[in-house]
Amino acid sequence: MTTMTMKVVTAVLAVSVTAACSGFDRLLSVQTPSRLAEESYLVPANAALISSSAVADYECALGGYAVASGMAAGELFDATQTAARWSYDRRNILAVDATYATATCEGIGVFTPINTARYTNDQAVTKLEEWSDAQVPNRQRMIALNSAIAGFSLVLLGEGFCSGTINVGATLTPTQLFDSAEVRFTKAITAATTANDAAILNLAYAGRARARINKANKPGAAEDAARVPVAFVYNATSDATVGRRNNRMFQQNNQSFSVTIATAYRTLNDPRVSLTNQNRLASDQVNQLWTQNKFTSLTASYPIASGIESQLILAEARGGAEGIAILNALRARTGVALPALTAQETANFNEAVAEERRRELFLQGNRWFDVRRFNPTLVPTTGTAYAKGGVYGDQRCWPLPDAEVLANPNARG
């Protein structure tokens, strides 16, 4: 090849490479069609989608929380060979642990899914309040629903964790988180009243009653709980086709055998704690597999709030003979048909309330905070050998994750 020819070829190659690189630059500058800019999404035409998607975030978070807190509270035993989950079961979560801090709700994470649900529901309310009724049909109803669900997200954060944060803010105590939840429930009550939506109104009253009893505001809790009909229930929806939408308790216990019912619940002889002994080992080949009968499929609905829970709150708040009468009425109802509590069982009223809650609200995500509120002896007891290594700890709430502290300068110190 002559020198002149080589120069021509080199020049052509240089032009070709330059053109190709320019083409690559243009390709790299194209936005991925599967990603939608937030400003294009947060528009009135998408209001119903924004609202329902935020609710779905909470539904998934609630399912993961119910399983994780069920292990921590002694309702469930972990039945996997996945060591990252054993800290829930062993009651010794560390702030550096990844699963509880950053895993998805499908992966039985808690901190990130709950905070995501709080954020997206608050965001939905903010946008809905910017828009008009003319732009968005049923706007007040959606404001009510998303406000209530944001409130429940904060309730879970306060119940599950020793402290928390909101929007990169300062560290908050559980009581402060319940205060923030109450603000959202109150907004939901106002909007649901305007929308004339009885179901969401009852949901908001039930949620505010829960936040108030968590703060030991018994008069306020009783006032709200008394407004909720006994037969009321507001359910999270489930679906079998998408893993994120599964009934998480059924999926983890009855389908994948990743958790088993804890020993303390297996012989209660109580229709509210209906179980089946599968007479086989669970997935870890260590624990016996016992399954729950409360949620019967991947599509089974899951209670967010109910009149039964509100009656338990009312009984606790009123106390005395009236409180005992409320507990006995729940025990006598159709489908339960249990005898009245004995004088011995009601001698310590708080213990009676805690025990009725343990049975009525089995696997619904309530027991973990009750372990903190009522301070029962932990089961299995602290220091007992854990079958997969180590010993049971004395945790009654989860620490604020290091992942949050390191990313949030306001949460430090």
Tens-place pLDDT, residues 246-305: 999 999 999 999 999 999 999 999 999 999 999 999 999 999 999 999 999 999 999 999
* Contact status, residue 107 vs residue 125, Cβ threshold 8 Å: no
Tokens describing residue 164: 């928390």
Q: Does the residue 361 lie in any domain?
A: yes
Q: pTM (2 decimals)?
A: 0.91
**Residue 8 predicted with pLDDT over 50:** no
The SS3 call for residue 130 is helix
Sign of CA dihedral 261, 264, 267, 273: negative
Q: Which residue has the tokens 């968005």?
A: 136
Residue 15: its pLDDT value, please?
Answer: 40
Residues 337-354 pLDDT 10s: 999 999 999 999 999 999
Residue 37: its pLDDT value, please?
Answer: 78
Residues 124-172 pLDDT 10s: 999 999 999 999 999 999 999 999 999 999 999 999 999 999 999 999 9
Alpha helices in 215-306 (DSSP H): 218-225, 248-249
CA proximity to 177, closest of 189, 188, 166, 167: 166
Residue 31: its pLDDT value, please?
Answer: 54
Q: Does the residue 77 lie in any domain?
A: yes
Supply the range of the domain harboring residue 109.
Answer: 41-240+306-408
Preceding peptide of 401 cis, ω within 30°: no
CA proximity to 56, closest of 134, 149, 184, 129: 149
Q: Does the residue 124 lie in any domain?
A: yes
Tokens describing residue 349: 């009223």
Sign of CA dihedral 257, 259, 261, 263: positive
Tokens describing residue 407: 């990313």
Q: Does the residue 1 lie in any domain?
A: no
Q: Does the residue 287 lie in any domain?
A: no
Show the CA angle centred on residue 80, arms to residues 77 and 111, nearest 5°. Answer: 75
Q: Does the residue 155 lie in any domain?
A: yes
Residue 412: its pLDDT value, please?
Answer: 78
Q: Does the residue 246 lie in any domain?
A: no
Residue 5: its pLDDT value, please?
Answer: 41
Residue 32: its pLDDT value, please?
Answer: 54
Q: Does the residue 14 lie in any domain?
A: no
* Contact status, residue 103 vs residue 112, Cβ threshold 8 Å: yes
The SS3 call for residue 306 is strand
Residues 42-84 pLDDT 10s: 999 999 999 999 999 999 999 999 999 999 999 999 999 999 9
Distances (CA, A) of 350 to 207, 215, 257, 356: 21, 16, 34, 10
Residues 204-256 pLDDT 10s: 999 999 999 999 999 999 999 999 999 999 999 999 999 999 999 999 999 99
Residues 316-337 pLDDT 10s: 999 999 999 999 999 999 999 9
Length of the chain (residues): 413
Residue 11: its pLDDT value, please?
Answer: 41
Tokens describing residue 114: 């709950």
CB atoms within 10 A of CB 107: 15
Any residues with CB less than 8 A from the CB of 94 and at least 6 apart, and which? 87, 399
Residues 9-41 pLDDT 10s: 344 334 444 444 444 344 444 455 556 678 899
Domain count, the chain: 1
Q: What is the CATH number of the domain that holds 68?
A: 1.25.40.390
